[in-house]
Structure 1
Amino acid sequence: MTTSSRTWFITGTSSGFGRALTEKLLARGDRVAATLRKTGALDDLKARHGDRLWIATLDVTDAVAVRGVVDRAFADLGRIDVVLNNAGYGLVGAGEEVSDDQIRHQIDTNLIGSIQVIRAALPHLRAQGGGRILQVSSAGGQIAFPALSLYHASKWGIEGFVEAVAQEVAPFNIVFTIVEPGATQTQFGSSLISAPPTPAYDATPVGDIRRAFAANAFPIVGDAAKMADAMIEVVTRDPAPKRLALGSDTYTMVRAALVERLTALDAQKDIALSVDADA
């Protein structure tokens, strides 16, 4: 390794951002502890890069397994500089259409799974004097579309968790960045899980979104390789940005949502101030 190389722990590396990041990091001389659910998906990279690629099978919905794998990665590699929470998927369906099992699995994977990886890593990062954590969220952690309510719940939830924990661990030199990609050329669309449609929603925005996904009609402006490069580069920034918006669609939609939210808040300022207790 070169003096500037780093060691990364990345979840969800069998495809998409996780795979792209693992390839790029190994090519530049870094070490990667890669977790995945599909055994053998990184065998080609292991054959090429040997001991610089550490692989473990992990389902992030298994909290006991998360702790075991994270502990083992730190023990085997000695130091991990960057933890990158990437595992996740999308669930399509109106709030009343999705099943109880689908709700639980979406939250267990995208929200609780990410929380447990962070919780497992924090004691190690504290002990070594600090480190970076990149939490992959989405433009959907700041905005919302119909038919994606549970996905948005998971992404808005993990952003709130990170906002608070980042303040808790800042004294230990542990720094977070929330990564918010927009629509990207990855396999995210092919991994979507759909709830059985309810006919009442066919002629509503839920139906429109469902048909757009089925027809691949959403414009894809994000380049996955360029976004992976941006995630790698952001760990060199000091101070680290709290959020990293990736894609022109993310920038445009999130900015519009924030402006609308601020405008609505300002319009209610008199109500907010009027309910304070009398002096």
Structure 2
Amino acid sequence: MSDRIAIVTGSGQGLGEEIAIALAERGYKLALFGRTAAKIERVAARIGGGTLPIALDLTDPDAVRAAFNQVEDRLGALDVLVNNAATYVPFLIADATDEQIRTTIDGSLVSALYCIREAIRRMRPHGSGDIVSISSESVRYPAPLLSVYAAAKAGLAKIHEALRRELHDSGIRPMIFETGRIDSSSAGEHWPPEMVEEFMRRFETLGYSGPLARDAATARTLAATIVHMIESPRDAVFELVQMRAVN
């Protein structure tokens, strides 16, 4: 796989970091996309081997185009895109600010669309490629305070469903990987304490405590599965993989 090029978004920590490392271990050349330069530079240093860190705002279409151009110029033709970046902030719809709604949709759906669009344009000329977008079990368990996030992830799944038709016979495989709790997730670490308390209270009151009670899957295991999806024989496709811890 030493001649294969992959982009991983949101690769500065957690699952994105583990996906990048797992691909690097298989010989892929990596471009790491993330908002915070220090985080992706740390991961690039950990991987080594000419890994390309690019700090950008994925909700800016011009920045996304420029980043994809830089990958092509520096590393070569793109083979794999893993859409891992998302915006995960809790709020009640009635109390939501304009910025909270727009930031969540842009960060979890629109940014992924910008990356998907650029990836397709670059994969089509060589008739092959894999696009994996990370989704969440919140699509099936739309939690209180995270309804817009769940809607964005559900929208991404529907886009992939349509893409399978749009990209028929193109050699490009769109895939959704849906996960539950992750051991290294940073989701919620920057939430105000009062919001965490409200989030947990509503989860309990409305009977959503089941998903929270499950064990967290390891990011390393999830990443290994995503690599397996990408490296599977090209006469078939993992359209949707749902994965979580055993217990």
Q: Is TM > 0.5 for Structure 1 vs Structure 2?
A: yes
**2:210 aligned with 1:223:** no
Shift of 1:59: 1.4
The normalised TM-score by structure 1 is 0.76
1:175-214 equivalence runs, <5 A: 175-191=173-189, 193=191, 205=202, 208=205
1:89-238 equivalence runs, <5 A: 89-191=87-189, 193=191, 205=202, 208=205, 218-238=213-233
1:37-48 equivalence runs, <5 A: 37-47=35-45
Q: Is the 8 A contact 1:92 1:192 kept in 2?
A: no
Structure 1 residues 160 and 148 mapped into 2: Cα distance closer, same or farther (>3 Å)?
A: same
Aligned counterpart for 2:22 among listed residues 24, 34, 42? 24
**2:244 aligned with 1:247:** yes
- Alignment match, 2:62: 64
Structure 1 residues 39 and 208 mapped into 2: Cα distance closer, same or farther (>3 Å)?
A: farther
| Cα distance in 1 between the residues matched to 2:162 and 2:190 | 29
- What secondary structure does 2:142 align onto? coil
Please report the RMSD computed on the Cα atoms of aligned residues, expressed in angstroms: 2.8
Q: Is the 8 A contact 2:215 2:245 kept in 1?
A: no
AA paired with 2:92?
A
Structure 1 residues 195 and 135 mapped into 2: Cα distance closer, same or farther (>3 Å)?
A: farther
- Identity rate, percent: 25
Shift of 1:115: 0.6
Q: Is the 8 A contact 1:98 1:196 kept in 2?
A: no
The structure having more radius of gyration, on CA atoms, is 1
Structure 1 residues 62 and 194 mapped into 2: Cα distance closer, same or farther (>3 Å)?
A: farther
Structure 1 residues 195 and 147 mapped into 2: Cα distance closer, same or farther (>3 Å)?
A: farther
| Cα distance in 1 between the residues matched to 2:47 and 2:145 | 42
Any gaps of 5 or more consecutive residues in structure 2?
none
- Alignment match, 1:256: none
Structure 1 residues 99 and 234 mapped into 2: Cα distance closer, same or farther (>3 Å)?
A: same
The normalised TM-score by structure 2 is 0.85
| Cα distance in 2 between the residues matched to 1:121 and 1:203 | 38
- What secondary structure does 1:91 align onto? coil
Shift of 1:118: 0.4
